[in-house]
Each structure stands twice: as structure tokens, then as C-alpha cells.
A and B are shown apart, each in its own frame.
Chain A
Amino acid sequence: KAGVTQTPRYLIKTRGQQVTLSCSPISGHRSVSWYQQTPGQGLQFLFEYFSETQRNKGNFPGRFSGRQFSNSRSEMNVSTLELGDSALYLCASSLVRFAGGRVYGYTFGSGTRLTVV
């Protein structure tokens, strides 16, 4: 059974550019969450999607956005990159049978390491 797949694994971007990261959840998992991990702030919640709808959003500026497609794959986008956006971005998927249904444990991907120079 394939795990959570994140692409690309590594990215180097210049300040001011924008970037799109992709996450393919485990087959059958309809909930996808995104987290940012930095040495100073630890793991911070970005947002969660279920059935193409954003269900929750963390405390990040509007430059951070995301979406989910009908096949549950998700993308997150960061516009006007800043040096402080350098981080490991982790995607997690979870089995949720229906909107408002019970969430089971999370499975994380290997992450995308974004470096902004």
C-alpha cells in the first residue's frame, strides 16, 4: 500500500518567487493536512482539506494557500516567498469516511524541503 507522496523532495527558490508543493494521500484517505516545520517554531498547522473544502486554517498569512482535487490530491502554494518560509513542509493524510465523520490516525509523507535564498 503506497504511503503519502510529496513532490518535489527539495526546492530552492529566490525571494519573491512563488512555489507549489504537491501531496498525494494514501488511497482512500480523503483528509489532507499540511504542516510547516522549522527549527525555531517546530511543527505548525497550515490547513486541512476534506472533499475539496478547506476545513481548518492555521495562523499563516494569506500568501499560503492550498487546494484539494476530486481525487484527494492536494497542493499548497506560497506566493512572494520570504527567507523565513524556508522549512520542511509536511503533508499528512487520514481516513475520514464522510464530512464531519471521525478522523483516524495521521500518516505523514517525507516532506518537501524548501530553501528560500
Chain B
Amino acid sequence: KQEVTQIPAALSVPEGENLVLNCSFTDSAIYNLQWFRQDPGKGLTSLLLIQSSQREQTSGRLNASLDKSSGRSTLYIAASQPGDSATYLCAVRRGETSGSRLTFGEGTQLTVNP
């Protein structure tokens, strides 16, 4: 059974700092990994999707890396801003076809202080 762990559970940083969020998974046989952001009481917003054949993906100040063999992914946020405050979730998907679910981590709650 796939298990996804995110460390740290919570993080508080001053504005402008670069930071790294970690995600690990127990079964390396994944199809892709997706990072999401969730604001309080809201749904999930997709940030980055990395296919199992890829090593990293970038979008603006965000960079996600994937090391499938070691079961790890990191989300790097550059020059953090107060608007980045949210819970960040990673999720892995085993299969490429419909019927294969996402398995989520518990999330990292990020607070960026002005």
C-alpha cells in the first residue's frame, strides 16, 4: 500500500526566504506526482505535475524535482511571499489509466510572514 509522507508538517518563514518542502513515498512504481496548494476552506489548486520519466518541472518561482528510485520529491519555492501562505500537498498516482487513484500526503502548512 502506497504511503506518502510530507516533512515538515508546518513551516513559518520570513518573506523573501527560499524554502524546500519534502515529499516521500514508499512505492516507487508511480506514474506521476502532483503538487497542490490548498488555501483554508478551499479546494486544491494544481501547481506542478511531474511524470515518472521526468526529473523536474518549473513554473515561475516554483520548482519541483522527482527522484523516483529513492521515493522522494521536493518543492522549491524561491523568494517566498505572504501570498504563498497555504497548505501544500503532494500526491502520487500509480497507474496511467482511469481507475488509478491519487494518494495524498498530509501536507505542509506554510506561513510566510511579512
* Whole-angstrom CA separation of A38 from B24 in the bound complex: 21
For this complex, into which size category does the number of interface residues on chain A fall?
Answer: 20 to 34
Task: Jot down 19 A-B pairs with beta carbons below 8 A, ordered by A.
Answer: A35-B104, A42-B107, A43-B104, A45-B102, A45-B103, A48-B101, A50-B99, A55-B99, A56-B101, A88-B41, A90-B44, A100-B98, A101-B97, A103-B93, A103-B100, A106-B46, A106-B102, A108-B45, A113-B41
Do A108 and B97 touch (CB < 8 A)?
Answer: no
For this complex, into which size category does the number of interface residues on chain B fall?
Answer: 20 to 34
Determine if A66 is an interface residue (Cβ-Cβ < 8 Å): no
* Whole-angstrom CA separation of A19 from B103 in the bound complex: 26
| Chain A residues in the interface with B (C-beta under 8 A) | 4, 6, 31, 33, 35, 42-43, 45, 48, 50, 55-56, 58, 88, 90, 92, 94, 96, 99-103, 105-111, 113
* Interface residue SS majority, chain A: strand
* Whole-angstrom CA separation of A42 from B36 in the bound complex: 14
Determine if B43 is an interface residue (Cβ-Cβ < 8 Å): yes
Determine if B49 is an interface residue (Cβ-Cβ < 8 Å): yes
Do A58 and B45 touch (CB < 8 A)?
Answer: no
* Interface residue SS majority, chain B: strand
Contact of B104 among A42, A55, A94, A99 (CB under 8 A): A42
Query: Whose C-beta in chain B lies nearest to the C-beta of A108?
Result: B44
Report the minimum CB–CB distance from B55 to chain A (whole Å): 18
* Whole-angstrom CA separation of A54 from B93 in the bound complex: 18
A105 with B34, Cβ < 8 A, contacts A100-B97, A113-B41 known: yes
Query: Whose C-beta in chain A lies nearest to the C-beta of B48?
Result: A105
Contact of A108 among B32, B46, B99, B106 (CB under 8 A): B46
